[in-house]
Amino acid sequence: MATHLAITPPLLASPRYSDGMRDDEIRRHLTQMNPWWRAVVSGTAPTAWVSDSRTLRDLSRHDMGHRSTILDDIATGPLDDQLVVLSGPRRIGKSVTLLQTIERLCTRDDVDPRQIIHVPCDGMTVQDLRRVLVVGRALTSSVDQEGTRRRVWLFDEISAIRGWSAVLKGARDNTDLGDDTLVATGSRWADDEDIEGNLLAGRAGRGTRRRRTLLPMSFRDHVRATLPNLALPETLHPGALQGAEARRTFASYELFVDDLDLAWQSYLTSGGFPRAVAEHAQLGAVTDGYMADLEAWLHRDVEPTAGPESIPLLLDALSRRATSPLSVASAAQDLGYASKDTFDLRLRRMIASHALLRCPQREDGRFVPRTQAKYYLTDPLLAWLPQRRRAGVGAPDMTRLTEATVAVTLARAVDELDEGRWLHGDTIGYTRTGGDREIDLAPVTVPSPDGATSTTPIECKWVDRGWKGEARTITGRFGYGIVATKTLLDLDGPVWAVPAPLLAAALLPQGPAAR
């Protein structure tokens, strides 16, 4: 049974720890970061703080109306022992999503603002985190006067604190934190941080998704934000992209193929980072300042000791090689890395930072060991960064961008159906045929309402003609499948031609309740 944290005046006034903040500094930090607490005393509206929030004010300057649904169940559901670990790249809006969730919680009649504890973790030590759990509950103890009240803890960028998951495990096992709702966000998780073992094992909780990934806007979200009047198809299960329902869905959107193609080219140019989408829509291009922000993020997380041109060169190399299995040794030599291992480390850091998606070779759904993988940048804008940030680098190829974007969209749909597969690198894969040709996206096993099934095989060919050769390759290997084209729609035969934007728009949307 959880026990109450014992708080005594001497403990709250303890001196500075050798490796952390004093309790009075923690009190001041929490009070400043939780302005809604003061609404109860001052009699003001619990959401009055929104107009003073610098983060939300900055958002308003480039707000296209897009709102992530990834924490909707936290904002609207009951306060219980739900735990969510939210991953995502830097600059994607995790902090904004937390503040928007807090705003929604503050509007609820059944939630006292003092139950909401927001903890930005940048610069904190593991000792600070231990003290935050104690001081935060003490500062909000007035809500317990009518009986124990659960809290909603929202830890922003907690991954910056090494050992954080063990601290939360101890508190959830032995204190009232075990009864509280908890959201922990991070951009890049340390390899030795045992999140599953410390926090997720044996804790089914209310929600269906405990590990969630906030990624750039999908093509479907991009269309909703920039072209709200453009019709979008009903979503389809990735294992049901052929069949009667899929045929009706695709056929009914034949008249919108050209409009979707223009929207697709816009998406492949701006990508899905919300600010980039807004800048592209409002100004016609993503600003140099935001491109520099993205480069700085990757430099910090991937190559902090390398020179200023390292990230553009790395992204350009990955973008140009995206449609073929990557020879790590050859790419390392071309980029001038000291060794193959050095380049491999960069790839692993890119994946950990959510900038890169690995697509291994699969046969019959299983990984093929000791084979080369493909690597896709997770957002189209990252492929444009080299041209914008380094003179002499050419523009990315739209065909390669199309394959990468369809692959990432399918990977997101698989992860929505089966929690954690994105983070474990188990979403997509390519396969080789008897003639040593490749099929871009081979079937993988996914859950469905009727039990386990396989995703539809997909080959990407951004053309309006000459797709039959790819169709014969898929037919010979699987007997069915889809060729993702530019604007060509052909639903006859065992292999269909479906425009890539129509296919991407029809895949499952992101969100914790998507399944």
Asked if pLDDT for residue 501 goes beyond 90, the answer is: yes
Least confident among 110-119, 196-205, 259-268: 196-205
Quick one: pLDDT at residue 19?
59
Quick one: pLDDT at residue 511?
42
Asked if pLDDT for residue 422 goes beyond 50, the answer is: yes
Three-state DSSP class for 406? helix
The helix-helix angle for 310-320 and 380-389 (nearest 10°) equals: 130
State how far the Cα of 378 lies from the Cα of 123, in Å rounded to an integer.
28
| Residue-wise pLDDT tens digits, 441-498 | 999 999 999 999 999 999 999 999 899 999 999 999 999 999 999 999 999 999 999 9
- First and final C-alpha spacing in the chain: 33
Give the CATH number of domain 9-213; options: 1.10.1760, 2.30.320, 1.10.10, 3.40.50.
Answer: 3.40.50
Quick one: pLDDT at residue 148?
65
Quick one: pLDDT at residue 54?
87
Asked if pLDDT for residue 5 goes beyond 60, the answer is: no
Q: Kindly report the average pLDDT of the chain as a whole number.
A: 90
Mean pLDDT of 387-394: 93
State how far the Cα of 457 lies from the Cα of 443, in Å rounded to an integer.
5
Return the structure tokens found at 319: 């973008």
**What confidence tier does 180 reach under pLDDT thresholds 50, 70, 90?**
very high
List of residues 6+ apart from 458 with CB closer than 8 A: 241, 406, 410, 439, 440, 441, 481, 482, 483, 484, 503
Quick one: pLDDT at residue 384?
98
State how far the Cα of 141 lies from the Cα of 451, in Å rounded to an integer.
47
Q: Which sequence spans correspond to the domains of the chain? A: 9-213, 219-506
Least confident among 62-71, 224-233, 247-256: 62-71
Quick one: pLDDT at residue 366?
92
Please answer whether residues 495 and 461 qualify as being in contact, where contact means their C-beta atoms are separated by less than 8 angstroms: no
Quick one: pLDDT at residue 309?
81
Quick one: pLDDT at residue 56?
86
Least confident among 251-260, 297-306, 488-497: 297-306
Mean pLDDT of 285-314: 92
**Nearest Cα to 306, choosing from 363, 278, 345?**
345
List of residues 6+ apart from 191 with CB closer than 8 A: 352
Least confident among 59-68, 210-219, 380-389, 470-479: 59-68
Of the chain, the percentage scoring pLDDT greater than 90 comes to 76
| Amino acid letter for position 439 | I
| Phi, psi torsion values for 310, nearest 5 degrees | -65, -45
Three-state DSSP class for 118? strand
Predicted TM-score (pTM) above 0.85? yes
Please answer whether residues 273 and 381 qualify as being in contact, where contact means their C-beta atoms are separated by less than 8 angstroms: yes
Q: Tally Cβ neighbours within 10 Å of residue 123.
A: 11
Please answer whether residues 281 and 224 qualify as being in contact, where contact means their C-beta atoms are separated by less than 8 angstroms: no
| 329-342 as b/e: b if 16+ CB within 10 A | eebbeebebeeeee
List of residues 6+ apart from 283 with CB closer than 8 A: none
By DSSP bridging, strand 438-439 and strand 431-432 are antiparallel
**Nearest Cα to 198, choosing from 94, 131, 126?**
126
Strand partners, 430: 361
**What confidence tier does 17 reach under pLDDT thresholds 50, 70, 90?**
very low
| Residue-wise pLDDT tens digits, 221-243 | 999 999 999 999 999 999 999 99
Which burial class, exposed, middle or buried, applies to 255 when counting CB atoms under 10 A from its CB (0-12, 13-18, 19+)?
exposed
Asked if pLDDT for residue 207 goes beyond 70, the answer is: no
3-state secondary structure 290-307: HHHHHHHHHHHHCCCCCC
Type and span of the H or E element at 289: helix 288-301
**What confidence tier does 149 reach under pLDDT thresholds 50, 70, 90?**
confident
